[in-house]
Structure 1
Amino acid sequence: MDELAGLGVAALAGEYHSVVARAAAGRADALGLPFLCSSAVLDALTERPTEWVARLAPPQSRGWQVYADFLLGAGHRRIAVAAQPSVYWASGTRILRDHLAARGGTLTELDMSALTPAAVCDKLVDHRATALLLLVGHPDPAVPIVKSVCGDQRLAEIMIGAPAGQPEFAEWATSLGDDSAGVPFLRYLPERLGPLGARVEKALRERLGEAPSFVAFEGYDTVAVLADVLRSHGADRARIAESWPRVAVEGTRGQIRFSRTPGISVWQWARSPIQVVDRDPAEPDRFRILHAG
């Protein structure tokens, strides 16, 4: 961030991972450098309210509450999470636990810094969990956990979920084969793409040789917003930051506007779409929409 600021960049786009984005956003605020965050969802993206940072992805509290509602609607009341130490996973666990507890559900945390995949299976049986959520990195330890659980006859009825979205990517299906399907996750797409989204989806599919992930649409929308802001307000950093509340850009997933959201320290696209989807067991390359919020 310091190097880019020193080079005189007008604004920054990114960033793929919430923990890295949190560090970048904090530094952008300190430097007075406009930063449009495309994918990171941590509610506390900066320690204090800032005028310099705007975000397209929905905050974690909103998305993961939608996921908790999906679990409850599917009849799950005894939830376990296999989690690694991380501010992102800890935040997600807290959101899920609070939302489930208020509606009669329970959440048990399994510490993956201390458990093997086989030990996870034993814990799931002990706790009589009906759903296991993977709050871990991909491919390791996510893939070994899924293989272990799917191979344990005691857990034939358990649902595996991955709210952070690991099953979106082709590597998930390649690593797990048939076990890759039926794992619900969050993605940030509308039920139907509009004309712009359909054109972008077609162009990306031709270039990539496969269907683009929702992250590709986030990236396109980030560039579209920054291009509009730069055309309208030039390359002055202060003017760019001042323009966030006046943005009105047609993106691939709807019209993008930024506003102040209670509890969120950055300018936020408040109406970003949220879905819970999985890979269809009958056709793993096809995604099924299970829930929307």
Structure 2
Amino acid sequence: MTRRLSEIEGRMATAHQLDAVIGAMRGIAAAREREAQARLAGIRSVAATVGEAIGRVLAATEHQGSRESPPERYLAPVLIVLCTEQGFVGAFNERLLECVESWPSHGTATLFVVGTRGAALADERGLVYDWSVPMASHAGDVMRVAGRISDAVFARFDAHPASAIWLIHALAKEGAQVAVVTRRLVPFDFDRFKSGPRLRLPLLTLPTGKMLAGLAERYVYVELCEGLMLSFAAENAARMTAMLAASDHVGETLKALTREARIVRQDEITTEIVELAVASAPVPGSASGTDVS
């Protein structure tokens, strides 16, 4: 019985250690999500600045687009899916890859996977991808990863101009929910930046086409930064949810172990009392004070 009690107490100690680790992971995830959300304002400010520059260039010219593109239904899709680098995120990566699998022409699409966990899951699901890169492990790494994706995007578009490049990423919602978002990066939509005539038009020192192409590439890079930061925030929100569920499970396990330990300890006490009672009981025929002479 004592051996069984020691085993239960050992399991309880392990559960307490696991609960401490889960709490630390949840705290780290919360801090990383807050940092990612705080950095979004700066990224969106840069996007607004670049967008305003595009609008001014368009207002100064009669340019209607950087190039004539074939109708969207004829464009070969390139899908960039932002998954996670680390685990403990529940069904986060599964939902993103399900979006890829439900894409109307996913059988002919070129797939770029960001995140080691996503690439491993894609292999498990039989999804073939042409390019992969590790996901940012902290908010400060987002710009570097965005640069690598941007290089791959424009290398692909230069080699295959008739491509529609889409970004697929997660977005954290209220109530610990995660939504999947898709946005088209290429062909670039200049129409959203058209503005009315200005009293003072900008002085252009570069050819309009070259300037618009450079601004469009910069804007796509900023869009990638925003998508990566949103995905990083959603990943950590999903990790917090998973850690909360794990903490609840450990709590229930500790309650069960505590009940079991009490039962075992009570059984040991009962057994000891019974043994003491039996040992102290008088032996029949040997009562004290009996005269046998």
Which structure has the larger Rg over C-alpha atoms? Answer: 2
Greater helix share, 1 or 2? 2
TM-score (norm 1): 0.30
Higher relative CO (Cα under 8 Å, sequence separation at least 6) belongs to 2
